[in-house]
Amino acid sequence: MLMSLRHKMPEQTPDERRKNFKEVTLGYTADIAKAEADRCLQCKTAPCRQGCPVEVNIPAFIKHLREDRPDQAVAEIKQKNNLPAVCGRVCPQEHQCEKLCVLAKKGQPVAIGRLERFAADYGLSCDCEPREVGAEPLGKVAIIGAGPAGLTAAGDLACLGYDVTVFEALHEPGGVLMYGIPEFRLPKSIVRKEIDGLKQLGVTIEVNAIAGKTFTIDELFEEEGFEAVFIGTGAGLPHFMDIPGENLNGVYSANEFLTRVNLMKAYQFPQSGTPVHIGKNVAVVGAGNVAMDSARTALRLGAENVYIVYRRSEAEIPARAEELEHAKEEGVQFHLLTAPVRIMGSEKGWVSGLECIRMELGEPDKSGRRRPIPVEGSEYTLDVDAVVMAIGQGPNPLVQHTTPGLEVNKNGNIIANEAGFTSKEGVFAGGDIVTGAATVILAMGAGKKAAVAIHQFLQEKHAVKE
Amino acid sequence: MYVIEKTEELSQGVKSFIVKAPRIAKKCQPGQFIILRTDEDGERIPLTIADFNRETGTITLIFQEVGCSTRQLGRLQAGQAILDVAGPLGNASHIDKFGTVVCIGGGIGVAPVYPIARAYREAGNKVVSIIGARNESLLILEKEMAAVSDILHVTTDDGSKGHKGMVIDPLKSMIAAGEKIDLVIAIGPVVMMRGVAEVTRPYGIKTIVSLNPIMVDGTGMCGGCRVSVGNTNKFACVDGPEFDAHQVDFTGLMARQRMYLEHEKEERKCGGECSCH
């Protein structure tokens, strides 16, 4: 039993899926889910729980699945996780809960993520009752940013009995779940359903509301009666490389490329109003999840050759194993130990090629990874007509610039402690805006902690008043 | 939903909408813009705020019907609503007392110039405005501009109204006559703004242009509106939209403006599949 293999999840074949935007993985059937749940040892120590940033009681929900109670399984998960259908799909489980599973020591860990997804999808299809909300709100809390951190904090605070309003700059809530992660990895209908669940808890979501522009944080306190504010604005400022040719037509930040396709539905152009340029051959610079998403999106939009250009080796690739595997299967071509030097352009100002240089790995740098060093004279040119820069994002500065008393570090990230307290009273922050670009689940973990801290802060504040 | 209270056709293909948007009307300043989306499948369209009324909670948007998205917007009537209006975006114009300020608007660019000219006048400057269009029927906001300017020059390419020629002609004349100019602000087609920049450059007259490159979110997230200013990349949405005209790489800007020309043609020949028909 210990050595048994985890159950595979059915998925579209690579040939089929590289032509469509439908979800790649199809999810466990009830039978497979039960068989996989049966692999769980139900060990008392439950090390898997320590690996979960939002502390889902993993053995408990799996026990419900073994006993054919998916409704109770999802209820158990939702005690801790407001967005299980999202997490079941996009969490890097292999580095979290599954890594610590006892079975992982001698074989393959229980497929916790896949089971979470199964339970959550069951929950979505059967429309579980929302949790009870207290009649009289305990206070008014504003959440800035309807991404994973903000939505999680909003859900938890609403459950505790607060009147919660989420302000979102774009026209649709979800943050990176809507504009960044593609449909084939996270269907937008799933995100919308989970957000509808929050609305049922009484959370108000105001879109087209740009903190720092449409209103300031101070105005929320002084003019709109909010008693606490949580900032979860994420990492939304694209990085570029500062190499020649980056302003040529056909060069995108991953943010722009993915937003055009995911949020603005450019793959349906001209039925949708927003176009996107692909061309025949596309280079994606970077090898994180965002880079894999961009490369696989370019393939689906009809590019003939899509290259990942990454300056380190496969061992250092930061993307999830599953995403890397899927990208390879679909035909994404990898130029590893390769760095872009300049982007070449046509007379009319369009991308015509990407000049690269080969790299070798030297001694470890500050990040602990071996430092890439250019190999002199090894330059070569990739024939491409579009380049997507997926080399990371920084913090968007709109809120910080318009909020006196809110301290930021030298990178522009808001300084907040583990619980989410910032330098400004009543203002909390968490997720990528504090830590720099990370994962959905870590942002959710920060949102949960901040919800606890806000609750404590407001209870103390009210106690003093009384 | 953002209800359109009033529509008006200012000239052929140029429309003015008064839109209820209380949060934006309360905050906006001259020089800022909004991003709107007409419906579910619509593009995010950036438009400058041509006027605002804090009491009624309304803003005025003036736009030219050039592509599918703006034509679709133009078909909306008073009483109907725009799905999304987000803003105010970008930085406000730096309004101060400089002395003599020349405000230049070309074509649809007169719309964003108007509140800026008014603000300079209110700040105690002598405002000389120059507005121009291809012909008389395309000229907008003449009366409004006259009301907020000490002197107003009108130019048309074909001479059907005012001076026959370009908006830079009266500016050149002022400079040739030795008039003291403390600041020039120019908004219009990129070619026109570049022309103004080249006229004032030799004399070191501070010149500001307002750029409207292609953008998606307008909050610094997509990086699509990047423009080289003084050899460093700036995002027009958060660093601008106003920049020192003598530092802007207009050639690069013009190339980027043409990025989706082919796609626009595709829209026009799509035979009714898209929402613009």
B33 is in an annotated binding site: no
Kindly state whether residue B266 falls inside one of the protein's structural domains: no
Q: Please check whether residue A454 lies inside any domain of the structure.
A: yes
CA dihedral of residues B9, B13, B14, B15 (deg, nearest 10): 50
Does A167 reach chain B within 8 Å, measured CB to CB?
no
Q: What is the DSSP letter of A95?
A: G
Query: Which residues of chain B are within 8 Å of residue A215 when distances are taken between CB atoms?
Result: 23, 27
Containing H/E element for B195? helix B190-200
B33 with B236: CB under 8 angstroms? no
In the listed set A368, A393, A418, which residue is the last one of a domain according to the structure?
A393
CATH number at residue A340: 3.50.50.60
Q: Identify the domain boundary among B89, B123, B153.
A: B89
Which residue among A80, A98, A125 closes a domain?
A125
Q: Do both B39 and B114 map to the same domain?
A: no
Domain final position from A393, A421, A449: A393
A363 and A283 housed in the same domain? yes
Radius of gyration in angstroms for the set of CA atoms belonging to chain B, rounded to a whole number: 18
Assess if residue A186 is contained within a domain: yes
A455 in any annotated domain: yes
Chain A residues close to B224, C-beta within 8 Å = 252-253, 256
Q: Count Cα neighbours of A227 within 13 Å in the Cβ-side half-sphere.
A: 17
* Chain B nearest-CA residue for A167: B86
Question: What's the residue count for chain B?
Answer: 277
Per the structure, how many domains does chain B have? 2
Tell whether the model's pLDDT for residue B265 goes beyond 80: no
Share of chain A above pLDDT 70, in %: 97
Work out the burial of residue B205: count CB atoms within 10 Å of its CB; fewer than 13 is exposed, 13-18 middle, 19 or more buried: buried
Q: Are residues A265 and A386 in the same domain?
A: yes
| Phi (first) and psi of residue B172, to 5 degrees | -60, -45
Does a structural domain hold residue A116? yes
User: Is there a single domain that holds both residue A221 and residue A175?
Assistant: yes
Contact B27 A272 (CB under 8 A): no
Residue A247 has pLDDT above 80, yes or no: yes
Residue A340: is the preceding peptide bond cis (ω within 30°)?
Answer: no
d(CA B24, CA A271): 30
- For residue B212, give the CATH number of its domain: 3.40.50.80
Q: Is A169 on the interface with B (CB under 8 A)?
A: yes
Same domain, B182 and B222: yes
Judged against a pLDDT cut of 80, whether residue B274 lies above it is answered with no
Q: Indicate the residue of B84, B252, B263 with minimum beta-carbon distance to A275.
A: B263
Model pTM?
Answer: 0.91
Same domain, B131 and B251: yes
B105 and B37 within one domain: no
What percent of chain B has pLDDT above 70?
Answer: 96
Check pLDDT > 70 for residue B261.
yes
Is B249 found in the same domain as B119? yes
**What domain range is B106 assigned to?**
100-257
Domain presence at residue B274: no
Q: Which tens digit of pLDDT belongs to each residue from A69-117? A: 988 999 999 888 888 898 899 888 988 999 999 998 888 999 999 999 9
Nearest CA in chain B to A169: B86
| Residue A37 backbone zone (phi > 0: left; psi -120 to 50: alpha; other: beta) | alpha
pLDDT at A450 over 80: yes
Distance CA A293, CA A282 (A): 13
Question: How confident is the model over A181-216, as pLDDT tens digits?
Answer: 999 999 999 899 889 988 988 899 999 999 999 999
A315-374 pLDDT, tens digit per residue, is: 999 998 889 999 999 999 999 999 999 999 998 899 999 999 999 999 888 878 888 999
Q: Which of A278, A332, A325 is nearest to A309 (CA)?
A: A332
A208 occurs within a structural domain: yes
With respect to residue B272, please indicate whether it lies within any of the assigned structural domains. no
Q: B149 pLDDT exceeds 80?
A: yes
Q: Minimal Cα distance from A240: which residue of B?
A: B223
Return left, alpha or beta for A444; rule: phi > 0 is left, psi -120 to 50 is alpha, else beta.
alpha
Contact B24 A214 (CB under 8 A): yes
The region of weakest confidence among A7-11, A362-366, B260-264 is B260-264
What DSSP assignment string belongs to A207-270?
-S--BTTTB-HHHHHHTT--SEEEE---S-EE-----TTTTSBTEEEHHHHHIIIIIS-GGGTT
Q: Do B153 and B192 fall within a single domain?
A: yes
Handedness of CA A60, A61, A67, A71 (dihedral sign): positive
Distance CA A458, CA A464 (A): 10
Domain count, chain A: 3
Section A416-422 average pLDDT: 95
Residue A461 CB burial class (10 angstroms; 0-12, 13-18, ≥19):
middle
Question: B105 and B218: one domain?
Answer: yes
Mean pLDDT of A151-167: 92
CATH of the domain at A36: 1.10.1060.10
- The model's confidence at residue B275, banded by pLDDT at 50, 70 and 90, is low
Q: Residue A251 pLDDT > 70, yes or no?
A: yes
What secondary structure letter does DSSP report for A418?
Answer: T
Domain that holds residue A182: 140-236+396-465
Work out the angle at residue A188's Cα, subtended by the Cα atoms of residues A14 and A88, and round it to the nearest 5 degrees.
70
Give the H/E segment covering residue B59: strand B58-64
The number of beta carbons lying within 10 Å of the beta carbon of residue A370 is 16
Picking from B89, B260, B275, the nearest residue to A213 by CB comes out as B89
Residues B105 and B84 in one domain: no
Cα distance between residue B24 and residue B52, in whole Å: 9
Please list, in sequence order, all residues whose beta carbon lies within 8 angstroms of the beta carbon of residue A425, skipping any fewer than 6 positions away: none
With contact defined as beta carbons under 8 Å apart, do B255 and B105 qualify?
no
Enumerate residues 6+ apart whose C-beta is below 8 A from B31: B90, B91, B92, B93, B112, B115, B116, B210, B241, B242
CA separation, residue A139 to residues A72, A157, A165, A196 (Å)? 31, 10, 11, 22
Find out whether B237 is annotated in a ligand binding site: yes
Residues A225-245: what's their mean pLDDT? 94
Whole-number average pLDDT of chain B: 92
Indicate if B110 and B81 belong to the same structural domain: no
B248 and B213 co-located in one domain? yes
- pLDDT of res. A2: 47
The answer to whether residue A238 neighbours chain B at the CB level (below 8 Å) is yes
The 3-state DSSP class for residue A340 equals: strand
Q: By the 8 A CB rule, do B118 and B105 touch?
A: no
Q: Does A192 touch chain B (CB under 8 A)?
A: no
pLDDT at A134: 54
Q: Cβ of A268 under 8 Å from any chain B Cβ?
A: yes
- Given a cut of 70, is residue A415 above it in pLDDT? yes
**The pair of three-digit structure tokens given for residue A136, joined into one six-digit string:** 């009289």
Whether B119 and B182 share a structural domain: yes
Whole-number pLDDT of residue B186: 97
Residue B233 lies in a domain: yes
Residue B85 belongs to a domain: yes
**pLDDT tens track for B90-120:** 999 999 999 999 999 999 999 999 999 999 9
Interface test with A, best of B19, B219, B250 (most A CBs within 10 A): B219
CA separation for the pair A368, A363 (Å, rounded): 9
Interface of B with A in 60-79 (CB under 8 A): 68-69, 72
A112 close to A431: Cβ distance less than 8 angstroms: no
A264 contacts chain B (CB < 8 A):
yes
End of a domain among B56, B89, B122? Answer: B89
- pLDDT value at residue A374: 95
B61, B118: one domain: no
How much is the pLDDT for B269? Answer: 61
Is B242 part of the contact surface with chain A (CB cutoff 8 Å)? Answer: no
pLDDT average, residue stretch B254-272: 74
Q: What is the pLDDT of residue B25?
A: 96
Say if A8 falls within a structural domain: no
> Do A268 and A207 belong together in one domain?
no
pLDDT given for residue B263 in this prediction: 77
Is position B265 within any domain?
Answer: no
Q: Stretch B176-193: mean pLDDT, rounded?
A: 95
Tokens of A289: 């999840």
Asked if B255 lies within 8 A of A249 by C-beta distance, the reply is yes
- Asked if the structure places residue A7 within a domain, the reply is no
Distance to chain A for B197, nearest Cα, Å:
22
Phi, psi at B22, each rounded to 5°: -60, -45
Q: CA-CA distance, A1 to B9, in Å (whole number)?
A: 76
User: What digits encode the pLDDT tens for the residues A266-324?
Assistant: 888 888 889 999 989 999 999 999 999 999 999 999 999 999 999 999 999 999 888 99
DSSP A132-177: P--SS-S-EEEEE--SHHHHHHHHHHHHHT-EEEEE-SSSSTTTHH
Query: What pLDDT score was predicted for residue B267?
Result: 65
Q: Which of A288, A77, A333, A26 is nearest to A181 (CA)?
A: A288
**In the structure, what pLDDT confidence band is assigned to residue A159 with cuts at 50, 70 and 90?**
confident
| Length in residues, chain A | 466
Q: Are residues A16 and A120 in contact, defined by beta-carbon separation less than 8 angstroms?
A: no
Under 8 Å between Cβ of B38 and B73: yes
Is it the case that residue A135 has pLDDT exceeding 70? no
User: Is there a contact between A27 and A117 (Cβ–Cβ < 8 Å)?
Assistant: yes
Mean per-residue pLDDT, B9-32: 93
Closest of A428, A430, A422 to residue A405, by C-alpha: A422
CA angle, B59 as apex, B56 and B62 as ends, to 5°? 145
Neighbours of A57 (CB within 10 A): 16
Residue B6 belongs to domain with CATH number: 2.40.30.10
Is the Cβ pair B217, A259 closer than 8 Å?
yes
Q: For residues A162, A165, A166 and A171, what is the CA-based torsion angle, rounded to 10 degrees?
A: 150
pLDDT for B193 beyond 90: yes
A74 and A107 both lie in a single domain: yes
Using pLDDT thresholds of 50, 70 and 90, give the confidence band for residue A128.
Answer: very low
Sign of CA dihedral A130, A132, A134, A138: negative
CA atoms of A159 and A194, how far apart (whole Å): 15
Q: Give the pLDDT band of residue B270 (cuts 50, 70, 90).
A: low
Round to whole Å and give the CA distance between B103 and A388: 39
Tens digit of each residue's pLDDT (9 = 90 or more) over B122-145: 999 999 999 999 999 999 999 999
> How much is the pLDDT for A186?
93
Chain A residue numbers with beta carbons less than 8 Å from the beta carbon of B72 are 273
